Every structure is written in C-alpha cells, then in structure tokens.
Amino acid sequence: MKSFLKIDPDSHFSIHNLPYGVFKTTDNQNSRVGVAIGNKVLDLSVIENAGYFDSILSKTVFSCGSLNPFISLGKSVWSQIRLKIQSLLSDDSDLKDNLELINRCLIPMPLAVMCLPCKIGDYTDFYSSKEHATNVGTMFRGKDNALNPNWLHLPVAYHGRSSSIVVGGTQIKRPYGQILDAENKPKFSLSKLMDFELEMGFFIGKENTMGSPIEIENATDSIFGMVIVNDWSARDIQKWEYVPLGPFLGKNFATSISPWVVTMEALEPFKVEGPLQNPQPLNYLKRKEYNSYDIKLEVSLKIDGSNQPKVISRSNHKYLYWDVAQQLVHHSVNGCKMQIGDLLASGTISGPDRTSLGSMLEISWKGTRPIKFENGIQRKFLQDKDSVVMTGYCQGNGYRVGFGEVEGTII
C-alpha cells in the first residue's frame, strides 16, 4: 500500500499508521481532529465537511476539540473510517487531483499546534515491568525482598491525576513538597531529585456498565489506541510520602503524553508473545492471545551546556510482564466503570540490561553511577533546562508505525 504523498521510509507516519490527534493552526484556532501522514496533517474536519464520510457517519465528530465523540462510535466505525482515509491517501485516489481540496486539508506538520487528543476523565498508572519493579525494590528493600508478594499475581497500580496530563512540548515546573533533610527531618522544599519514567499508555474506547467487569477474551475491543507517556517523578517527595498509600505529590504534578494516538488496528501486525508468567495468573487474568507489542522505545537527554542530545535508554514495550489486556481486566474486575477517554499507563518500561532502563533512578542507580556528557558534565537526576525526549515505533517491511515524540523541559 502506497500513498500519493512522498513519505520517507523512516517516517513514523506511513499510510499503514494514520494516528489521530487534535490540533489547531495560527489561522484557525478551532481545535479539530487530524491524522498524521508523512510530514503533513490531514484535517479530517475538512474531509468530513466535503462529504467523504457521509456513508459512515451520521453526525459531525471531527470538528470537535477531542477524539471522544469519534471514539464513542465504536470499533466498526473506527475501522471503516481508517479504510476510507487509507483510500483517500492511496496512490490511486482521486483526491490527489483535487488541488483545491488538498491545499485546504493537508497542512504542513510544523504549522500544527498539537493539543491533548482526548478529554481524559480518569488516569491510572500501573507498575507492570518486572525489571523496573525488581530494580527499584532492590535499591530500597534489598535483593531478597525486591518484589512484594502480590506483584507476580496481579497488575499493581495507583490512581493518578488527569488534570495534570499535558501534551508533549509543555514545560514542566519543578514541584514543591516535603522532603527529608540531611538529618532525616522533613522540610518544605523544591524537589532536588527530578526524574522521568518511560511508559506507554492506552485510551479506553468502550465503556462497561458499573458492576460488570471486562473479560480477558474481549479486553482489546475496549482499547482505542496508544501513546507514549512520560510520568514525571519527584523522587525525594515520593520517598517520604509513599508509605503506606503509595504515590501522591511526587507524581501528580505532571504527566506528558505524545500527541498522536496510534490505533490498535495499526499495531495489530506487531503483536508478540510477552514474558513467561510464573506463577500462572488466576483464571480471569490468563492470556487468550498475545497482547504485547514490538514497539522500539528510546529516551534522549538534552542538557544545558552540551551540544548534542544523548541517547540514555533503548527499551521495548514487549518487555512488560503484565500486558494491556491484563491491566484493563484487572482494573475492572471489581466492577469499576471504565469511561471513553480514560488513560491507563503501563508504568516504567525497563529492559533486561543497563542500556534499557526506563528512569534516571535506575540508570544512575540512585545517583551512584552518573550519566557522563562531554566537558565533564554529569547527571544523576534532572536539572533545570534539561529536556527529555521519548520516541517509539514499530518497524514494518519498508515502513514504520510510529508515535512521534514526547518532549518536556524542566524549568
């Protein structure tokens, strides 16, 4: 399948991808829905108004400032719209000869100001990487007690703060909170141990009725698509507060997500077998199919005083012990109602070696092995003006299905 647009093979946004986002432009401040294709944004509100979706849609959904109305139409409509967009952008499409419409609907990506893609009602952050949980547990409890007794039996999670979720590119203000001083006494201070967490997140695409759990056999039908997540962390605030109820102010000040939502249909060819689960999960969590994805992830750090960003981690979504279906099923097993646009994040994704760790806490091993840059500059944790850039993609045969970037700078 080829597009009439010239698309670099290394572009994240091939015709096999077509991720959705919400954007505005200088000359049109109305937020509307678009699809990324090569180095352009296809304005779906223009395509919709031109009547191309009339046989599929009974109402206007792409002029809204959120993907929620479109997502609410269901999986069958998602697939039909995706096929229609692929047809419009294909090499034999009539659209390529309609220069007037092309000029209105295809916008150079640098001119698009990206917004949050969904209206996010609730946000949950999991703790699904065995390597990450083992590393953190080893640091704070010792190797023999690295994993708590429940970890291998259920996907551990906590509820985050949806009001603090921001689109990539938003600056992140260093938070205040209580930390311990050199004498282990609490004081009110700016966080001194700022960190990132490399994660993936998914948006809920189908609601369940309160009291009715989502079952493992059809869990992925309730997922619309995925984004890259940077769940910023203030480690010193977190360390003092997290016993006994877990993360609070050390986490809820900011979470960054990539602006483009890659659909589960686009990710389908990249499903792979996840890690062996031992002991076997309880019946409601037992896998019925592969729901891990071969998504190559990379984190770069750009620091003040250094000429080039430095790649500090290369990881992969497939390392997660608990997959997306298991996360969703466990979340709803008690009858919890999931709503369209809710965001569930994986927790830090770390791999099996030092090159694939998903946080500064692990990379620097609690500050004992700093990251070294040119001119003798080092980093144990993030300093002001440091920028973290995360990216990820699946590699197809001559094309990519990617997520673009999510960047944030500490101020």
Strand partners, 151: none
**Cα(173)–Cα(52) distance, rounded to whole angstroms?**
43
CA 151, CA 154: separation in Å to the nearest integer? Answer: 6
The dihedrals phi and psi of 349, each to the nearest 5 degrees, come to -105, 105
Which one is catalytic: 12, 132, 330, 331?
132
Give catalytic status of residue 132 as yes or no: yes
**Considering only CA atoms, which of 331, 273, 366, 291 is closest in space to residue 127?**
331
- Do you find a cis peptide bond into 244, omega within 30 degrees of 0? yes
**What's phi and psi for 359, nearest 5 deg?**
-155, 155
| 32 Cβ contact list (under 8 Å, min separation 6) | 22, 23, 24, 43, 44, 45, 62, 63, 64, 65
- Please tell me the distance from the alpha carbon of residue 140 to that of residue 90, in angstroms, as a whole number: 54
**Of 217, 183, 211, 225, which is closest to residue 79 (Cα–Cα)?**
225
Measured in degrees and rounded to the nearest 5, phi and psi for residue 167 equal -80, 150
Per-residue burial over 351-378, b if 16 or more Cβ lie within 10 Å, else e, is beeeebbbbbbbbbbbeeeebebeeeee
| Burial class of residue 255, CB neighbours in 10 A (0-12, 13-18, 19+) | buried
Taking the C-alpha atoms of residue 20 and residue 280, their distance in angstroms, rounded to an integer, is 36
Token digits for 349? 């994704």
- Give the type of residue at 16: H
Residues 6+ apart with CB under 8 A from 70: 20, 33, 61, 62, 64, 77, 78, 81
Distance CA 369, CA 306 (A): 19
| Residues that are catalytic | 132
